[in-house]
Structure 1
Amino acid sequence: MTNVPAPEPTGGTQAVARALSLLSEVGRGGGDGLGLGQLAAATGLARPTVRRLLLALAQARMVEQDRQTRRYHLGPEAYLLGTFAAERHGILTHARNSLLRLARETSDVVLLTVPQGDHTLCLERIEGDFPIRTHALMRGDRKPAGVGAGALAILAALPEPEGDALLHRVAPLIEDLAPDLVAALARDLAHARAAGHALNPGRVVPGSWGLGVAVLWPDGRPAGALSIAAIETRMGAARRAELATALHREARLVEASLATLEPQSERRRSTA
């Protein structure tokens, strides 16, 4: 990895927001990393701006550049911060056994989705052994709130005024994905609140259905959602009822595991 010289100083909240957006894109590059041109295209920023921000992030050891490929990767400081955040936000650790169990039992694709501001992030995807799979949502994909079964389950778990306001706020982003999708999601949201689980009947990708159940923190706020994605023919009414039961069972197990975090945090604060 190369040593990168210090960048010219920049200031202002816009620069901070751009740097954080760029850091997020670098992280989504995975093991292959991303080049300067790819990062500029992904963020919509000019190449000189991206280069300047990357220099700043490299100075802070948040990113690093491979000497041979010239591609950018997350740096050691990003890894360290991730380990610090894992206890509070490490839902994947608590959900992994449930994800594996659901994939084994259903043979379908099982997903873990977490809220991220006005969006949701697919944190994990585990594929069952059914030969025909849906690829509508992959690990690392970021969607506007409410788009997808897991995202819709998270939205439905919020207090109703808050959920409605969030859906209204992201409506312009949703409209870019598909026409009339906002109105359809509003109806799906009402159904999810009544049923206790969310159904995505191929709203974005025809034939790709999903069923999701929210996972809650002890205070009742959504920590994320477990969901199952499958082709439409595997999502008949009778099977949906079976899948919803399995999702609820595993969501409660994940919640019980997450609940063990709070007493530990309280004990640390009391001894600080």
Structure 2
Amino acid sequence: MKEDLDKRDDMSYLQTAGRALSILKMFRQENTLSLPAIASGLGVGKTIAYRLVHTLMTEGFLVQDPLTKQYSLGEQVLLLGFCAVQRQDVKRIAHDFLWNFHERTKISTYLTIPCGNQSLCVDRVVSDSTGRLSTVFVGGVYPLFCGATNRVLLAFASPQFQSGYLRSLELPEEEMAQLAEDLKQAQARGYDFTHNRLTEGLFAVGFPIYNSSNQLVAGLSVGGVDDPARPDAVEQFVQQGRQLAVEINNQMGSNYYSNLIY
């Protein structure tokens, strides 16, 4: 690969450090890995792979199950990840908006960011009724195609990313077609909506959040419990959620919503 050739030509590139980081990247797709799998993924022998893995374990970046001998990510990776998330402008800026919104409306809110081919929940403020049912938690990683809380990141991603992601899914043809249509409709109306997709009994409305360069950086969702006595609830959530999204986008320096006509 051209990337590997570029690395070999880079006199400042440290191969050992690069290999150690490559091991950590392998866990983007797998929860656990064996030593042979790691060695194969690196294209090196088991002895070199073992030394790298042993070093990562010593520093707390990997742990090994004593029974299965499988490796998984250690707490140091988690701590670094949360440090990175805490420093993100979108979480810092949105946090007070989420709490103020909840105090006014008692509506549950969630903030997610792209994390590779998945969604990472970085903040949430939930009502008592929603919180008992919700399966989305801060620090949780979720598939992009499940629920408006996460799917909004896919719906408003670049066409290149979206098409590549859809090709990677192993879904029945009919389900894939429906997902593609849902994403298209979400883009057209400016928000995504799902019902009973991620959590039974809940609906969610998702809105994109952009930075000052109008790059998609997060997804905001508002959600609630199905209430047959309030058929207009969803539309109210759409209006209130959109206003919250506008406030956060404005604070982020984005003019995305000012260019939309509702």
Give TM-score scaled by structure 2 length.
0.66
CA gap 1:163/1:129 in 2 versus in 1, 3 angstroms: same
Q: Which residue of 2 aligns with 1:171?
A: 169
Q: Which residue of 2 aligns with 1:248?
A: 242
CA distance in 2, matches of 1:80, 1:171: 29
User: Are the equivalent residues in 1 in contact too, given 2:223–2:237 (CA < 8 A)?
Assistant: no
Q: Which residue of 2 aligns with 1:74?
A: 75
CA distance in 1, matches of 2:81, 2:142: 24
User: Are the equivalent residues in 2 in contact too, given 1:144–1:170 (CA < 8 A)?
Assistant: no
Q: Equivalent residue of 2:169, what SS?
A: helix
Displacement of 1:103: 2.8
Q: Which residue of 2 aligns with 1:120?
A: 119
Bigger-Rg structure (1/2): 2
CA gap 1:183/1:92 in 2 versus in 1, 3 angstroms: same
CA gap 1:84/1:122 in 2 versus in 1, 3 angstroms: closer
Structure 2 residue corresponding to 1:184, chosen from 178, 181, 195: 178
Q: Which residue of 1 aligns with 2:140?
A: 141
Q: Which runs of 5+ in 1 are unaligned?
A: 1-9, 26-41, 65-71, 261-272
Structure 2 residue corresponding to 1:207, chosen from 194, 197, 201: 201
Structure 2 residue corresponding to 1:17, chosen from 22, 26, 29: 22
CA gap 1:233/1:166 in 2 versus in 1, 3 angstroms: farther
Q: Equivalent residue of 2:137, what SS?
A: coil
CA gap 1:231/1:46 in 2 versus in 1, 3 angstroms: same
User: Are the equivalent residues in 2 in contact too, given 1:188–1:200 (CA < 8 A)?
Assistant: no
Give TM-score scaled by structure 1 length.
0.64
CA gap 1:136/1:186 in 2 versus in 1, 3 angstroms: farther
CA distance in 2, matches of 1:53, 1:109: 44
Structure 2 residue corresponding to 1:44, chosen from 32, 42, 59: 32
Q: Which residue of 1 aligns with 2:92?
A: 93
CA gap 1:213/1:105 in 2 versus in 1, 3 angstroms: same
CA distance in 2, matches of 1:56, 1:126: 39
Displacement of 1:134: 2.6
Q: Which runs of 5+ in 2 are unaligned?
A: 1-14, 39-48, 64-72, 255-262
| Equivalent position amino acid for 2:99 in 1 | L
1:22-66: CA deviations, max 9, x gaps?
Answer: 5x89xxxxxxxxxxxxxxxx72213797996664235557579xx
Aligned residues: 222
Higher mean C-alpha displacement, 96-105 vs 214-223:
96-105
| Equivalent position amino acid for 1:19 in 2 | L
CA distance in 2, matches of 1:142, 1:90: 20
Displacement of 1:234: 7.2
| Equivalent position amino acid for 1:228 in 2 | V
Displacement of 1:229: 2.8
Q: Equivalent residue of 1:121, what SS?
A: strand
CA gap 1:14/1:151 in 2 versus in 1, 3 angstroms: farther
| Equivalent position amino acid for 2:75 in 1 | L
In the TM superposition, 1:48-67 aligns within 5 A as 55-57=54-56
Q: Which residue of 1 aligns with 2:221?
A: 227
CA distance in 2, matches of 1:199, 1:191: 10
CA gap 1:59/1:90 in 2 versus in 1, 3 angstroms: farther
Higher mean C-alpha displacement, 197-206 vs 10-19:
10-19
Q: Equivalent residue of 1:143, what SS?
A: strand
Aligned-residue RMSD, C-alpha: 4.0
| Equivalent position amino acid for 2:31 in 1 | T
1:200-227: CA deviations, max 9, x gaps?
Answer: 1222444332111111112222110111
User: Are the equivalent residues in 1 in contact too, given 2:109–2:221 (CA < 8 A)?
Assistant: yes
Q: Equivalent residue of 1:233, what SS?
A: coil
User: Are the equivalent residues in 2 in contact too, given 1:111–1:125 (CA < 8 A)?
Assistant: yes
